[in-house]
Amino acid sequence: MEHLYQKLSVYDEEDIYPFHMPGHKRNPALMAGFLPYRQDITEITGFDDLHHPEGIIQAAADRAAALFGVRKSFLGINGSTGMILSAILSCTGRGDKILIARNSHRSVYHALYLKDLRPVYLVPAGIPGMEVNGSIDPADVEKALARDPDIKTVLITSPTYDGVVSDIRRIAEIVHRAGAVLIVDEAHGAHFVFSEYFPTSAVRCGADIVIHSIHKTLASLTQTALLHVCTDRVDPDGIQRQLSVFQTSSPSYILMASLDWCMDLLSQKGAGIFPEFVSLLEQTRKRLSETDSLVLVDPHERWPEQVYAFDRSKLLISCGQTEMSGPVLFDRLCRDYRLHLEMAVPSYVVALTSIGDTPEGMDRLVNAIQELDKTVPHKAAEEDRTAWISFELPEQVLSIAEAMDSPAGSVPVLESEGRVSAEFVVPYPPGTPLLVPGERITGQFLQNMRRYIQKDIKLVGLKDMDCRSIDVID
């Protein structure tokens, strides 16, 4: 029987280049000097306590706050998931209404369940011809808050998994005029602060709380994150209390050390690292833009009405003009070229780049795409692979907590129309729920679910992994 540690050792020796998280890209030149195994300890004398930091851990958090230019930062070793749960629960009362983007991370929905919060949804516009969510329209935020003055907390995801950024500055102004607090899930945008090449970070746009997954696009180990308190509208003590709930009582010093090491790297060498990365990234984007069929897409340039800004470190390569689907392109790059990308949807793939990338790795990606571009056939003129999904916001019959805590039973998916779901149905990627517990199942949902399955997009949240049955409220 193969063991996990053995499989990882074998994988480390293979000639596979990562265009996915974590952002350090397993680059030994970048990570030199950080050898964690012999440094795995617990809370011993002289090493402080994550849940009551007063010494070396607090100093690390203070350095992070200074680096990002915020009032206070908290270290996280349970990813952005723990930070999002802590942020939401510290800013809301049980049963409160909360305004959230529908394309929020599933941890947001778990927070709604834990405190029986009542969501009011912001639905971003779709991008014509691609399965990409556009930016949240500030006007929609203003209308929602005007309609429902009971809302005191707003949560926006920016950037999205695809790199789409919303106008956080305008949204923050609107939210604050309404007397509410703005939380921004900027998990995929921790690098924004370090170069003007990227969109402006939410920490500089008036958001009250900003969450960063440091492992996604910077050089820290998986599960590491930061929660930033940016204004005096939130109580840091309340956040600390919630973090003690959602993070282990035996936190990994290796993970905390990797956060501290990353902050030190960026403080000392960021001024050199980021210009080099941006230059390499721009060269790569220029070369990829010269292809004919496999097209590098910048949603902000192509659809400025729907996309306020875009993170150009995300390489969105469209295959919508070809007979090749995104999952097939993803598999070809992995099998034939030893390149692992971040994600695939029916009409495009995403390669995640970071400061850990090398010129050799970027060359391999460009050469592979250019080679495939010469051989992949164009699709038939009448085929429209991207016009396959139509989202409608389902009726919320029960709150998520009421639905998840109610008696439920399993029925065949094909016989579930009109019933109230007790489960999530989430295409992954990108992770925007088609259905959440408490919502009524419609024919449109069933059609969308069937199309996702036909397009080889994984659906998560269902107890039945084969997606043949679904739990509904009795």
Which CATH number belongs to the domain containing residue 242 in this structure? 3.40.640.10
Same-domain status, 236 and 284 = no
- Residue 15 in any domain: the answer is no
Say what the pLDDT of residue 299 is: 93
The model's pTM: 0.92
Pick from 163-177, 178-192, 309-323, 366-380: least confident: 366-380
Same-domain status, 223 and 119 = yes
For 264-291, what is the mean pLDDT? Answer: 96
Secondary structure class of 185 (helix, strand, coil):
strand
Say what the pLDDT of residue 80 is: 96
Say what the pLDDT of residue 345 is: 87
Helix (H) or strand (E) segment spanning residue 361: helix 359-375
Distance CA 417, CA 208 (A): 41
Residues 6 or more apart whose Cβ sits within 8 Å of residue 13: none
**Residue 347 confidence (pLDDT) above 60:** yes
**Residue 218 confidence (pLDDT) above 80:** yes
Phi, psi of 378 (to 5 degrees): -70, 150
Same-domain status, 334 and 417 = no
- Residue 10 in any domain: the answer is no
- In this structure, which amino acid lies at residue 124? P
What integer best gives the mean pLDDT of the chain? Answer: 91
Q: Find where tokens 């905390």 sit.
A: 256
Same-domain status, 47 and 192 = yes
Same-domain status, 129 and 81 = yes
Which CATH number belongs to the domain containing residue 412 in this structure? 3.90.100.10
What single-letter DSSP state applies at residue 134? Answer: -
Same-domain status, 438 and 365 = no
Q: Find where tokens 């779709």 sit.
A: 126
* Short-list 416, 144, 458, 238, CA closest to 327: 458
Distance CA 199, CA 97 (A): 30
DSSP 24-47: TTT-TTTSTT---GGG---S-TTS
**Residue 257 confidence (pLDDT) above 80:** yes
Please count the structural domains in the chain.
3
Tell me the chain's radius of gyration from C-alpha atoms: 22
The parent domain of residue 93 ranges over 37-263
CA 440 to chain centroid, in Å, comes to 27
Same-domain status, 60 and 126 = yes
Say what the pLDDT of residue 382 is: 47
Say what the pLDDT of residue 380 is: 62
Say what the pLDDT of residue 412 is: 94
How many degrees, rounded to 5, is the angle at CA 334 between CA 331 and CA 339?
140
Same-domain status, 118 and 178 = yes
Distance CA 340, CA 19 (A): 6
Which CATH number belongs to the domain containing residue 314 in this structure? 3.90.1150.10
Same-domain status, 301 and 256 = no
| pLDDT band at residue 312 under the 50/70/90 scheme | very high
Distance CA 402, CA 332 (A): 44
| pLDDT band at residue 30 under the 50/70/90 scheme | confident
| pLDDT band at residue 63 under the 50/70/90 scheme | very high
